[in-house]
Amino acid sequence: MQVYYSPISGKNLCNIFANTIVEKYKKESIDTFVEISVTSHTNFFVLNGTISSENIFNVSELFIKKMNDLYPDYTQNINVIDLINYGTNSKEIVNTMVDFSKGNNLFIPSDEYNSLKLSQELYQENIHVNFTADTTFNTIHYQPLYNTKKQKIEQKLESIFPNFFLEEIKDTRPHVSDYYFGAWNLNKKYHNFLRYVFYNLSERGICKAANLRCFSRERIDKLSWETIRFYGNYSNQMMQRSKIDSMVLDLFDFNPEQIDLKLNMDSYNAENEIFLTSEEFPWLVKDRISEMLFI
């Protein structure tokens, strides 16, 4: 069963709102620590987490402005319960583990990527709907959003999923943002750094999928290949796992300052991973392939 969320509803909207808060504090200071989550309920949103800044913005106004940018006809209020701990300095510990697979530039499973692409296509056509497609029973359950006409939705879905039974539902389940979109910290930077590592490995043909992990308990000023532990599990690999790990540690600079320089993460807005307005992602830097030798 595949789930499709409109970019302005469900988990996607929670991710957009979480990312909007991250971008707001990045503009205030690029050194601000942010680690929050956004949960949507039927009539309100709940914010949890930690932000090192003591500056508190009117989040309701921030969300309403974002919705007006995404959907100009939006006129409702947005109620927010803000439970974030502000002015709290958190000790950052690198502990990042991510699964990657070749096939798209986000390195996520193809069904998730196709869901994003289709949701974006419907959004561009002003068709706002959340739905699940059950390919076992050829059934689609859908929920119209933002006054989108039922007939318009069904005509579009029938053209994409012929011979599927369509049933309208009302979904009142809460949705929670993904950790990645509510974070501005070392783990987010290393998440995208591992994407960069996997991109070079997959382009060299060393593996087609991988689970990569790096972690350390050292302070940020002492992070390097010597103080960070790196492990990988690879599928269809062309070398022994231990040799791939050793090669990664030899070829890639794990220092966070060098990661910032290499990937330019400070100016990157993760919202692009929801709207897919550009395929120019910062981790698509193919600069280590010629140094990767099969042993």
User: pLDDT tens-digit profile of 10-26?
Assistant: 999 999 999 999 999 99
Q: What is the pLDDT of residue 90?
A: 74
Q: How confident is the model at residue 295 (pLDDT cuts 50, 70, 90)?
A: low
Residue 223 has pLDDT above 80, yes or no: no
Q: What is the pLDDT of residues 74-127, one digit of tens each?
A: 888 999 999 999 998 777 788 999 999 999 999 999 989 999 999 999 999 999
Q: How confident is the model at residue 226 (pLDDT cuts 50, 70, 90)?
A: confident
Shortest CA distance to 19 belongs to which of 207, 269, 191? 269
Report which of residues 289 and 294 the model is more confident about. Answer: 289
Shortest CA distance to 39 belongs to which of 139, 182, 240? 182
**Contact (Cβ atoms closer than 8 angstroms) between residue 222 and residue 258:** no
Distance between terminal CA atoms of the chain? 42
Residue 219 has pLDDT above 80, yes or no: no
Q: What is the pLDDT of residue 91?
A: 72
Q: How confident is the model at residue 277 (pLDDT cuts 50, 70, 90)?
A: confident
Q: What are phi and psi of 209, to 5 degrees?
A: -155, 155
Tokens of 147: 């006054």
114-118, 126-130, 222-226, 273-277: which range is least confident on average? 222-226
Q: What is the pLDDT of residue 221?
A: 64
Cα dist from 20 to 99, 135, 221, whole Å? 25, 34, 28
Three-state DSSP at 34 gives strand
Tokens of 78: 């947005």
Q: What is the pLDDT of residues 128-181, one digit of tens each?
A: 999 999 989 999 999 999 989 999 999 999 999 999 999 999 888 899 999 999
CATH number, domain 10-90, options 3.30.110.30, 3.30.2320.80, 3.30.300.10, 3.40.50.300: 3.30.300.10
Three-state DSSP at 71 gives coil
**Contact (Cβ atoms closer than 8 angstroms) between residue 241 and residue 232:** yes
Three-state DSSP at 236 gives coil
Shortest CA distance to 33 belongs to which of 188, 140, 149, 219? 188
Q: What is the mean pLDDT of residues 179-185?
A: 96
Q: What is the pLDDT of residue 279?
A: 85
Q: What is the pLDDT of residue 115?
A: 92
Every domain of the chain and the residues it spans: 10-90, 94-105+187-291
Shortest CA distance to 212 belongs to which of 179, 249, 181, 239? 249
Single pTM value for the model: 0.92
Same fold, 10-90 and 94-105+187-291: yes
Class of the CATH domain delimited by 94-105+187-291: alpha beta
**Contact (Cβ atoms closer than 8 angstroms) between residue 17 and residue 45:** yes
Q: Cα separation of 1 and 133, whole Å?
A: 6
Q: What is the pLDDT of residue 220?
A: 66
Q: What is the mean pLDDT of residues 57-61?
A: 95
Q: What is the pLDDT of residue 46?
A: 98
- Give all strands of the β-sheet with 209-216 in edge-to-edge order: 94-101, 209-216, 229-235
Tokens of 230: 């790196």
Q: Between β-strands 129-134 and 85-86, what pairing exists: parallel, antiparallel or unpaired? A: unpaired
